[in-house]
Amino acid sequence: MDRIGKYVIHKVSVTTGYAQVVFCHDPDLQVPVAIKLFDPRRVADSPMSPAQWLGRFVSEARGLAAVEHTYVTPVKVLEQLPDGRPYFVMPYYAAHLAYEIGRDLKDSETPAAEHERPRRLSVPRTLLLLRQLTAALAAMHRRGMIHRWVKPSNILLTAKEGGSVRLIDFSMAKFPGANPPLPDIWPDRGAYTAPEQWESVSSVGPEADVYSLGALAYRFLVGAPPAGDILSEQAPEDIPEQLWAFIQAAMNLDPQKRPSNAGAVVPMLEGIKADPRPKRERVVVSHQSGGKSSARLS
């Protein structure tokens, strides 16, 4: 197959739980696009039926289109191939969050290539990305949606340097009303997933997305994903206390003690200044000729 509808295939980018993401060329608009194509072969051994996964695929496309927010990847086309497989078309973004933060490495892994090594972000850049992600999630939460899979690999950027966020992958999202079901066992127990989600997928609320925001903020600032309960950790000296307090509140193991949704996080982040905490002034005593001493602040 060299085309998906009118779109000329350039390469298959990634495969997901029930689909392929394919980079293509729009011959009419003369621009690159990303197409997500339903692949029933990938769910053949799933406890859910192909028809149920198909329902989730269509819900993902409609959910992305319904949010219609600057920081959410837009969907304008939902079509199907002659064999009945649906696909939806999105803009192509050349950058990925890994361009800025590198790749999370496991303890057993050797150091990756320089551009893949984990990196920290500055406080101003962290706040900018967090505010954009929070705005995207707040738009979802207002519509009764919960993303449930906010992590670095589901965040694209509009440019390799200084790009804006584009949140992707609503494949595991919780939608209002009739929601195509999911097995109640979450497939990803990574550092960005709220602990209550490990126990029950269907019952989680927007607080699960808030936890993910806190975990991402930690990763941006520390350079490594959080490991376990961080409530007892001391804030690094160069991180504003208000920002660290937000991270600890968002990552509280008790979802009832977190901000209730992303909309509640928006004013918290807006009130944080990008300047790091002021360092304590240190008195330096110097001895001068004549036996006198003088003090200065450094």
Closest C-alpha among 198, 236, 202 to residue 217: 236
Q: What's the confidence (pLDDT) of residue 281?
A: 40
% of residues, the chain, pLDDT over 70: 87
Residues 6 or more apart whose Cβ sits within 8 Å of residue 289:
none
On the question of pLDDT at 290 being above 70, the answer is no
Please say if the pLDDT value at position 285 is more than 50: no
> How high is the pLDDT of residue 235?
82
> 44-75, pLDDT tens digit by residue?
777 778 888 898 899 999 999 999 999 999 99
Residue at 251: amino acid letter:
M
Mean residue pLDDT across the chain: 86
Token pair 């969050």 is found at 97
- Give residue-wise pLDDT tens across range 64-103: 999 999 999 999 899 999 999 999 999 999 899 999 999 8
Measured distance CA(298)–CA(283) in Å, rounded = 7
Q: How many residues does the chain have?
A: 298
pLDDT band of 13, cuts 50, 70, 90: confident
Q: What is the pLDDT of residues 215-244, one digit of tens each?
A: 999 999 999 999 878 887 888 888 999 999
Q: Is residue 184 left, alpha or beta, with left meaning phi > 0 and alpha meaning psi from -120 to 50? A: alpha
Domains annotated for the chain, with CATH where assigned, are 3-91 (3.30.200.20), 95-270 (1.10.510.10)
290-295-296 Cα angle (round to 5): 135
* Whole-number pLDDT of residue 83: 92
The two tokens of residue 120 are 């920290």
Residue 54 · residue 17 · CB < 8 Å: no
Q: Give dist(CA 63, CA 67) in Å, integer.
A: 6
